[in-house]
Amino acid sequence: MTIGIMGAMQEEIAPLLEHYKSYTTIPFGGNTFYKVELENKTLIIACSRIGKVFSSLTASCMALHFGCEKIIFNGVAGGVNPNYKVGSLVLGTQLCQHDVDITAFGHPYGFISGSSVFIPTDISLNNIAKIVAKEQEIPLYEGVIATGDQFINNKERKDWIKKEFNADAIEMEGASVAVVCANLNVPLCIIRAISDNAGDEALISYEEFLEHSAKQSANLVINIIKKI
């Protein structure tokens, strides 16, 4: 079984590479992929770079070139749900693109013809994530994640995204990876740790907590991999 693990930034995959220690590097598609051989599975790890375009490219490379049969996304997100604190872990059950706007044609925000506003992640992988979190006594929230090519550090925009999509967290890659995986029939799991609250002070919090939150999320992902 070959499993892809992706993050958007080096900080989001560094804890995984540190954990697995032994890997080969494979250049492909303008990026570097790290191949880890475990006893009964192969992992393909990569940092996609930020945003929907680069994350789609990486997910497609993982599925079509490296033959990944499942993909897990590991990273950080801005928290919108008031119960979330910095470091809270969120399992993305549904993803949407908050920056898609063809409302001029009478469509709702986030809608693209031939697709749907919300794309679900894989129920079986999500169940494994929930079991692992329960075993380790780690609180794991389930939520709607809104994705867009914008770092949200503005309360007004954050509140609009929350209201329009009933979003619990905001990031910049989940929905695009979900679209790729849904269309290529690759089961996807998205784990995010909260680094900021996407409000007016988001940047300061993000810079302070990116590394710590990325590690929290990576630790859960490592244990999910063991259970697959």
For the bound state, the minimum distance from the C-beta of residue 195 to ligand ADE, rounded and expressed in Å, comes to 5
Instruction: Name the catalytic one among 11, 122, 171, 196.
Output: 196
Nearer residue to ligand ADE within complex by CB, 43 or 169: 169
Contacts of 137 (CB under 8 A, 6+ apart): none
Can 164 be counted among the known catalytic residues?
Answer: no
The crossing angle, in degrees rounded to 10, of helices 202-227 and 123-135 is 100
Which residue is closest to ligand ADE by CB? 78
Helix (H, G, I), strand (E, B) or coil at 169: strand
- Smallest gap from Cβ 158 to ligand ADE, in A, equals 8
- 5 belongs to the binding site for ligand ADE (CB under 6 A): no
Catalytic residue of the set 12, 122, 168, 171 = 12
Does position 78 interact with ligand ADE (CB under 6 A)? The reply is: yes
From the list 59, 40, 39, the residue with the least C-alpha distance to 49 is 59
Residues 47-66 that bind ligand ADE (CB under 6 A): none
Site for ligand ADE in 148-207 (CB under 6 A): 151-153, 170-172, 195-196, 198, 202, 206
The crossing angle, in degrees rounded to 10, of helices 202-227 and 10-20 is 30
Is residue 90 near ligand ADE by the rule CB under 6 A?
no
CA dist 165 and 16 (Å) reads: 32
Sequence-ordered strand ranges (E) for 2-152 = 2-7, 24-28, 31-37, 42-47, 70-79, 89-97, 119-120, 140-147
Site residues (CB under 6 A) for ligand ADE? 76-78, 151-153, 170-172, 195-196, 198, 202, 206
